[in-house]
Amino acid sequence: MPRGSDVGPAVSTDSVPGVCVVRLNAVVALLGRFPALAGVDLDISAGEVVLVQGPNGAGKSSLLRLCAGLLRPESGRAEVFGLDLATARSAVRRRVGLLGHDTALYDELTVEENLNFWAAASRVDRSAAVPALDRLGVSHRLHDVVVSKLSAGQRRRVAIAAVVMRRPELWLLDEPHAGLDQSGRDLVDELVIDAAAAGATVIMASHELDRTLDLAGRTVVVAGGMVVADRVQSGEGGIHAH
Amino acid sequence: MLTDARLVAAKDLRIELRSRVTVSQVVPFAGLVLVLFGFALDANRPTLDLATSGLFWVTVLFVAIMAVQRSTAVETTDGARRALLLAGVEPGAVFIGKAVAVAVQLLTVEVVLVGGIVVFYGASIEEPFLLASTCLVATIGIAATGTLLGALVAGVRARETVLPILMLPVLAPVLLGATRAFDDALGSVAVNGWSWLAMLTGFTAINIALGVLAYGVLLEET
C-alpha cells in the first residue's frame, strides 16, 4: 500500500501541491467581545505541514477553529479551498478534520458505536471505523467498551481515529500529542507524515517543539492574535524567513 | 434530513437506555412527585379530583426539565456540538432528532403517570382517545420547545438554573391547554377538550417550525 493511502484526502480537488488551501488576509475574529484574531495574514499551500506555535492565549486554537469554519471572520478576507469563510463555512467543514481539546465522544456509547455514529453523520462508510481504530493502535477488545471506561490516552486515540476515518483534505490538529503515551505520540507523527505524503495539508498547534519542529516544514508564530513570524525549515535543519 | 434526524434520535435514545437515567431516576422521581401531591391534597378529595389534570402536567413539566437538561448536556460536555457542525449534519435534523428522543422519554414517563393517577388518585378515563391525543401533542410541543431552549442556554455557564426559568413560562400555554383537555378526558370538569387540543396543536406546530429554523443559528452562536 503506498504511503498515506489510508489517511489521504477522500476528495483531492484542491490537494495539488502549490495550490493555496488557506488564504487569510487581515482577518479579525471575535470570541464573544474579545478579539481572538486581530488581523491575521497567512497563506498555506496544499501538502504543507505547518506548525503554529505561540504562548497560551495567543490565538492558536482560534486560528484552527477559523480554518475549520467554526469561527466567523468579523472583517478581512478568509478563504479555505477557495471558499469564503464568511458565506460558505458549511462547505468548508465537510472537508476538514479538526482534533481539538475535546474528544466529541459520547460517554455512554461504546468505541465502535461512537465511530459508527460519526461515520454516518459525516457520510463516511461505516467500514472505515475499524481500520481507523487499528491505525491508532486501539485494541479490538476495546471496541465494545463504553467510552467512559477508557483512559484519557485511549479516549484521545479514539478521537483521532474519528478524524482519520473522515480522510480530510485539511487536518487541523490542536495539541495532537497531548495525553498520549510514547507509542501514541509516534503514531500521531506517522499520521501527519502519511497525510502530507498523500497530499493533505496539515496545520497543527503545539507546545511540543522537540517533536513537531521535525514534522513541520514551516513554523508560524502567533502572538496577540496576529502572525508575528513565519519561517520555513531548510533541509539542513536551519530556518529562514518565509 | 430525516435520515440525520433518525440518526440523532437513535443515538440519544441509546445513550438514555445505556445510562438508565429515565428508568432508574426520572420515573421514580415523577411517581414520587405525584404521590406527594396526593398526600398534600388527599384530605380534601374533591379538590384532588379537580386538581388531578394540573398535577399530572406540572409533574410532566418537571420531568421535561430534567430530560432537556440531559439532552443538552450530552452535546455540550465534550464538544460534540462542534463535531456535529463539522460533520455537516443539518441543524434542523439535529433539532428534530433530539426533540423526538426527549418526547419518547416523556411519553414513557406519562404512561406510568397515567397509571399513577388512576391508582393513587382514583381518576377514571372517560375519553381515552382525547387523553392519548393530548399526551402526544402536548409532549411533542414540550419536547420541541425544551430542545430549542436547551440550545439557547447551552453556552450559558449556569444553564441548569436558567433553563427552568425560561422553560416554565414559555410552556405555560401547554400546561393550560393540556390540563383543560385532560379535565375533559377524565370527566372532572365540563369543558370542550378538543378545542383545547386544537390550541395545543397550533402551539406545537409553531414551536416545531421555530426550532427547525432557529436551531442552526443557536448551534452556531452558542
Model confidence at A238, in pLDDT bands (50, 70, 90)?
very low
**Same domain, yes or no, for A109 and A226?**
no
For residues A42-53, average pLDDT: 92
User: Residue type for B119, please?
Assistant: V
CA distance A20 to chain B (A): 21
Instruction: Let me know if A130 is exposed, middle or buried by CB neighbors in 10 A (0-12, 13-18, 19+).
Output: middle
Model confidence at A239, in pLDDT bands (50, 70, 90)?
very low
**Same domain, yes or no, for A119 and A231?**
no
For residues A38-57, average pLDDT: 91
Say what the pLDDT of residue A32 is: 81
Out of B78, B82, B88, whose CB is closest to A94? B88
**Same domain, yes or no, for A186 and A227?**
yes
Q: Where among A138, A166, A194 does a domain terminate?
A: A166
Check CB contact under 8 Å for A105 and B78.
yes
Check CB contact under 8 Å for B80 and A94.
no
Say what the pLDDT of residue B57 is: 95
Report chain B residues whose CB lies below 8 A from the CB of A94. 86-88
For residues B35-60, average pLDDT: 85
Range of the domain at A202: 20-95+168-241
> Looking at the domain assignment, is residue A2 inside a domain?
no
* Under 8 Å between Cβ of B103 and B71: no
> Looking at the domain assignment, is residue A88 inside a domain?
yes
Closest by Cα among A187, A139, A197 to A163: A187
Closest by Cα among B18, B142, B136 to B74: B18
The 10s digit of each residue's pLDDT in A126-163 is 888 899 999 888 888 888 899 999 999 999 999 999 99
Instruction: For residue B79, give the chain A residue with the closest CA.
Output: A104
Reported in sequence order, the residue ranges of B16-154 that DSSP labels E, i.e. its strands, are none
Report chain A residues whose CB lies below 8 A from the CB of B18. 108-109, 146
**Same domain, yes or no, for A90 and A177?**
yes
What CATH number is associated with residue A69? 3.40.50.300
Say what the pLDDT of residue A149 is: 94
Model confidence at B154, in pLDDT bands (50, 70, 90)?
confident
> Looking at the domain assignment, is residue A72 inside a domain?
yes
Say what the pLDDT of residue A6 is: 67
**Same domain, yes or no, for A119 and A144?**
yes
The 10s digit of each residue's pLDDT in B71-100 is 999 998 888 988 999 998 999 999 999 999
**Same domain, yes or no, for A112 and A224?**
no
Q: Which three cell numbers stand for residue A54?
A: 505561540
CA distance A64 to chain B (A): 13
A145 in contact with chain B, both atoms CB, cutoff 8 A: no
CA distance B136 to chain A (A): 28
**Same domain, yes or no, for A83 and A174?**
yes
**Same domain, yes or no, for A178 and A161?**
no
pLDDT at A55 exceeding the cut of 70: yes
What mean pLDDT, rounded, does chain B reach? Answer: 91
For residues B2-13, average pLDDT: 94
**Same domain, yes or no, for A66 and A183?**
yes
Range of the domain at B92: 2-221
A74 in contact with chain B, both atoms CB, cutoff 8 A: no
Q: How many domains does chain A have?
A: 2
Q: Where among A145, A166, A187 does a domain terminate?
A: A166
Model confidence at A4, in pLDDT bands (50, 70, 90)?
low
- The beta-carbon contacts of B132-136 under 8 Å, at least 24 apart in sequence, are B133/B197, B134/B178, B134/B181, B134/B182, B134/B185, B134/B193, B134/B196, B134/B197, B134/B200, B135/B107, B135/B110, B136/B107
For residues A193-203, average pLDDT: 91
**Same domain, yes or no, for A115 and A174?**
no
Check CB contact under 8 Å for A121 and B4.
yes
Interface size A-B, in CB pairs within 8 Å, comes to 68
- Residue A224 is classified by DSSP as T
Say what the pLDDT of residue A15 is: 54
> Looking at the domain assignment, is residue A84 inside a domain?
yes
Q: Which three cell numbers stand for residue B158?
A: 449556569
Per mean pLDDT, which range of A160-164, A225-229, B20-24 is the poorest?
B20-24
Chosen for mutation from B12, B82, B86 (greatest number of chain A CBs closer than 10 Å) is B86
**Same domain, yes or no, for A80 and A176?**
yes
Say what the pLDDT of residue B195 is: 94
Instruction: For residue A166, give the chain B residue with the closest CA.
Output: B87
**Same domain, yes or no, for A37 and A77?**
yes
pLDDT at A12 exceeding the cut of 90: no
CA distance B127 to B110: 16
For residues A75-79, average pLDDT: 93
- With an 8 Å Cβ cutoff, the interface of chain B facing chain A consists of 4, 7, 11, 14-15, 18-19, 74, 77-80, 82-89, 220
Starting at the earlier edge strand, list the strands of the sheet with A201-205.
A96-99, A170-174, A201-205, A49-53, A218-223, A226-233, A239-241
Q: How many domains does chain B have?
A: 1
